[in-house]
Copies of this chain bind each other. A is one copy, B any other.
């Protein structure tokens, strides 16, 4: 029986190795560099081993995304506790800037991990709940709609900044504008 759990632990470890390696490869060279061949070579197994753990390549980036949601929920909570709406916004934008590949996996790439669905994983609700907790004081009667707007604004700032489509210099001023706009109704 203990061999059974040991086997399972070995499998789980290898699964984590795959996800970690995929994430490192994506952060280092972008998701287009994460191919089954390169990933298999990096973890020192053949390609079919990957398919023993994940049904396809998208499932691997989804696993990375789920890790990201855990981390994002945590940093949002810390930021919110430190400085409310502004602290949360800073934490969100910092996370997106520091982990662009993970952020892409969470919000830009594949489509099969959705908010607002019945099947939405708990951690996605938790993450959204963090934003809502920071926004609620400014729209107590309908926090959900303002949360969507605030989140969209953060998402827009994050993706356009990551894609070098905003001036790199005015980060703080943009944040000031956004906080002022949402915070003073």
A152–B148 CB distance below 8 A: no
List, in ascending order, chain B residues with CB within 8 A of A151's CB: 156, 160
Is A55 at the interface (CB under 8 A from chain B)?
no
Report which A residues bind B (CB closer than 8 A).
107-108, 111, 114-116, 139, 142, 144-146, 148-149, 151-157, 159-160, 163-167, 170, 173-174, 177-178, 180-182, 184-185
List, in ascending order, chain B residues with CB within 8 A of A159's CB: 108, 155-156, 159
Pick the contact of A152: B108, B139, B166, B184 (CB < 8 A).
B166
Pick the contact of A174: B152, B170, B177 (CB < 8 A).
B152
Pick the contact of A153: B142, B153, B170 (CB < 8 A).
B153
A13 to B159, CA, bound (A): 36
Per CB-CB distance, the 7 closest pairs between chain A and chain B, nearest first, are: A156-B156, A152-B156, A181-B181, A155-B156, A153-B153, A152-B157, A149-B177
A-B contact pairs, 12 of them (CB 8 A): A108-B159, A111-B164, A114-B163, A114-B164, A116-B167, A148-B174, A149-B174, A151-B156, A152-B157, A156-B156, A181-B182, A184-B185
List, in ascending order, chain B residues with CB within 8 A of A111's CB: 163-164
Contacts known (A155-B156, A181-B181); A116 close to B148, Cβ less than 8 A: no
Name the residue of chain B whose CB is nearest to the CB of A174: B149
